[in-house]
Homo-oligomer: A and B are copies of this chain.
Amino acid sequence: MGCGALGSVIGAHLARLPDVELYAYDVLAEHMRAIRERGLKISGVADFTVRLNATSEPSEIPPCDFGVFATKSIHTRAAIEQTAHVFGPSAAVCSVQNGLGNEEMIAERVRYVIRGATGLAVHMREPGHAGIEFYGDVWIGPFEPSGTPYSLVEELAVLMNRAGLHFVPLRDARGAQWTKLIFNSAANGVGALTGLHHGAAARFVPTAALYEALLQEGEVVARALDIVLTSDPRELVAEGARAPTKRYASMLVDVLAQHPTEVDFINGAIADHGEKLGVPVPLNRAVWQLLKGLEHSWSNPS
């Protein structure tokens, strides 16, 4: 569900498994048509093209055992409304999306939900063609309130790893999700507001200091929620900054295209949690306020 860069890369890998019947769904009809007509192409550290079913018509999708949500978080609610009928009472739907709150929305319509966070570095090249810069891990675990059996998490990980991806099943994926979330609060928030690619923002002294302040704010919120991060978000910052290419945060890509960003699900979500817990979150709140203001400016308000 959602066939942008991340959904395309995951879908293309799965489509190479002869025993998997795969449907790609996205609301962008011309994108789906490109995949149907020319196949789905992946290039970068992997290079191949596959054929798969691709549709913008939810009624064309048969019942599925697993779903993988890779839409922008702002489209999760609409996508699950459109596709909930695909998932029967034993099916499980996994979010590999950015930010917080996607699993909750999916769980309103689907019995079993799997929490996920991804370290894949991918980007869209054109309709039907996505790039992959490296195979990062994808961490998945049961979405706690839905009581998803851990065996379903393991089954999905085995499937994905047979397809050549690096899925890591965890009893509790919240630490991995928050590690990525806190990294994103800095890399996406600062990138979107400054126009700097990640490496430049991480090296330039003023923005590096703001990265650090945002990371610290998020870490205090995670601790207050009893969430143990799986690694230091600074390692993700450093790893991304070493990349030989200029990496534009996905929210910066959105800003440049004047598309609504995922800030509600990243900095906004951290700020909401912090304020509920009485933990100071002025910087995540300010990044949220500034990006909401920037998005508002595109409507040319009176």
Interface residue ranges, A against B (CB under 8 Å): 190, 193-196, 199-201, 203-204, 206-207, 209-210, 213, 246, 282-283, 286-290, 292-294, 296-297, 301-302
Report the minimum CB–CB distance from A271 to chain B (whole Å): 11
Complex: how many Å from CA A291 to CA B282? 17
What B residues does A289 contact at CB under 8 A?
A: 206-207, 209-210
Do A201 and B293 have beta carbons less than 8 Å apart? yes
What B residues does A282 contact at CB under 8 A?
A: 213, 282-283, 286
Report the minimum CB–CB distance from A122 to chain B (whole Å): 22
Do A194 and B283 have beta carbons less than 8 Å apart? no
Q: Which of B194, B209, B283, B293 contacts A297 (CB 8 A)?
A: B194
Do B286 and A196 have beta carbons less than 8 Å apart? no
Complex: how many Å from CA A167 to CA B209? 41
Complex: how many Å from CA A207 to CA B292? 8
Report the copy number of this chain in the oligomer: 2
Complex: how many Å from CA A15 to CA B294? 42
Do A290 and B293 have beta carbons less than 8 Å apart? no
Complex: how many Å from CA A48 to CA B254? 46
Do B283 and A196 have beta carbons less than 8 Å apart? no
What B residues does A196 contact at CB under 8 A?
A: 293-294, 296-297, 301
Q: 5 more A-B contacts (CB under 8 A) besides A193-B293, A200-B297, A204-B301?
A: A193-B290, A210-B290, A213-B286, A283-B283, A286-B287
Complex: how many Å from CA A9 to CA B270? 47
Do B195 and A193 have beta carbons less than 8 Å apart? no
What B residues does A201 contact at CB under 8 A?
A: 293
Do A206 and B302 have beta carbons less than 8 Å apart? no
What B residues does A199 contact at CB under 8 A?
A: 302
